[in-house]
Amino acid sequence: MGVELTRLPSGLTIVTDAMPHLETASLGVWVGSGGRDERPDEHGISHLLEHMAFKGTSRRDARAIAESIEAVGGDLNAATSSETTAYYARVLKADVPLALDVLADILSDPLFDTDELRREQSVIVQEIGAAEDTPDDVVFERLHEMAFPEQPLGRSILGTRETVRSFDAGKLRAYLTRNYCGPDMIVAAAGAVEHEAVVDLARRHFGTFNGPPAPVPAPAQFGGGTRIETRDLEQVHLAVALPGLPQRDPTLYSLQAFASIVGGGMSSRLFQEVREKRGLCYTISAFHMPYSDAGMFGFYAGTDEADTAELMQVTVDEIGAATGTITEREVDRAKAQMKASLLMALESSGARAEQLARHILIYGRPIPLEEIVAKIDAITVESVRKAGAALLARGEPAISALGPGRGLASAAAIAESLHRQAV
């Protein structure tokens, strides 16, 4: 019992985590490619492929794919990110063979029917429109564009209306063949599973994924700069980012703690100072997004037009001051939050399967819970302050501002001083 791992000759990795007290299993296929792996003429193809995988194979049409899992009470879904694409299901333990059969079928034998493709292209165009109508989605999309300019990492996962409509079955199949290969694929399962049974099923169903590893994307380069977009909205939406850390950086956990202390919850400095004491916003938070070779630390807030400059000044000052004034009590609280979040998530079989796959894609092995907790426990006041100071000195920020025009330029000018705030 517990975590077990097998690698097939094709390079495909199978990893399981048996949870004997469960009667259900979560399982899926995680592919180490996403928006970053798209060529210039493929913008949005990773996401379209994720949709089209469910639209029919030689054995099942789109309805049969959905009904095959739902008829046994399970669910089937998928997700695309910048660096991964995942296809996953949750079923009763007796239906694990069925789920793996369906997952292998939709990835190894998609038909890419022309009529289905046209319909799904229209669906994604509607999805793009919905995102454009959501201001906080727009401001983060613009932030990524400024943080990683002219790079796949800075582009929307959805693509554009023009690129999405340009794809045909040939382009989809070429992308699939290039990027969905054994060395870059993980079959992960957690819950009511038996490792050897999953390995046997994977060996039987995923034998066609035996190509070489996919090409490695070009290294990411943080850019910076300002993007101001005037819109007739009720609120101003502000997002600011600095160059962060990649996933394997040894100081990552300290920077994550810094982000938590600064803006990770209701007890964070930004929430208490900007919202609770001054009433300058309803929503404010800080974040750190690590990628394989880059990262992005930042904050987001939505505020009234008249409060834009004051909110930005207070936020910049608070983040700068934190590098020299973070306390042991705050660090202890951040560590407790990090451990609790980790442990609470791992009570879910789906979260366990996802974490196993993510660890293998990042580190090449599952990371034991004890090892993660030890890294969190090793965080100190000094390491958090040092991580924050290094962050603010690392480079010019990327700034995205969206909303009524008055105050946007002055807020952006204030945000530009963020990298000089380190004590």
Check residue 418 and give its pLDDT. Answer: 81
Give the number of domains in the chain.
2
Pair of tokens at residue 12: 């495909």
19 and 141 in a single domain? The answer is yes
- Residue 60 belongs to some domain of the structure: yes
- Residue 212 belongs to some domain of the structure: no
293 and 186 in a single domain? The answer is no
Query: Is residue 240 very low, low, confident or very high in pLDDT (cuts 50, 70, 90)?
Result: very high
Residues carrying an active site annotation:
50
Percent of the chain residues topping a pLDDT of 90: 93
Check residue 410 and give its pLDDT. Answer: 86
Query: Residue 1: is its pLDDT beyond 60?
Result: no
Average confidence score pLDDT of the chain: 95
With a CB cutoff of 8 Å and minimum separation 6, the contacts of 299 are: 239, 240, 262, 263, 270, 284, 285, 286, 287, 315, 319
383 and 414 in a single domain? The answer is yes
pTM (2 d.p.): 0.94
Check residue 423 and give its pLDDT. Answer: 47
Percent of the chain residues topping a pLDDT of 70: 99
Check residue 421 and give its pLDDT. Answer: 63
Query: Is residue 275 very low, low, confident or very high in pLDDT (cuts 50, 70, 90)?
Result: very high
pLDDT, average across residues 322-349: 95
282 and 184 in a single domain? The answer is no
- Residue 323 belongs to some domain of the structure: yes
Check residue 345 and give its pLDDT. Answer: 85
Query: Residue 302: is its pLDDT beyond 80?
Result: yes
- Enclosing domain of residue 60: 3-205
Nearest-angstrom CA–CA distance, 354 and 332:
27
- Residue 219 belongs to some domain of the structure: no
Question: Residue 336 maps to which CATH number?
Answer: 3.30.830.10
Closest among 234, 294, 297, 217 to 264, alpha carbons compared:
297
Check residue 283 and give its pLDDT. Answer: 93
Pair of tokens at residue 113: 């029917």
- Residue 211 belongs to some domain of the structure: no
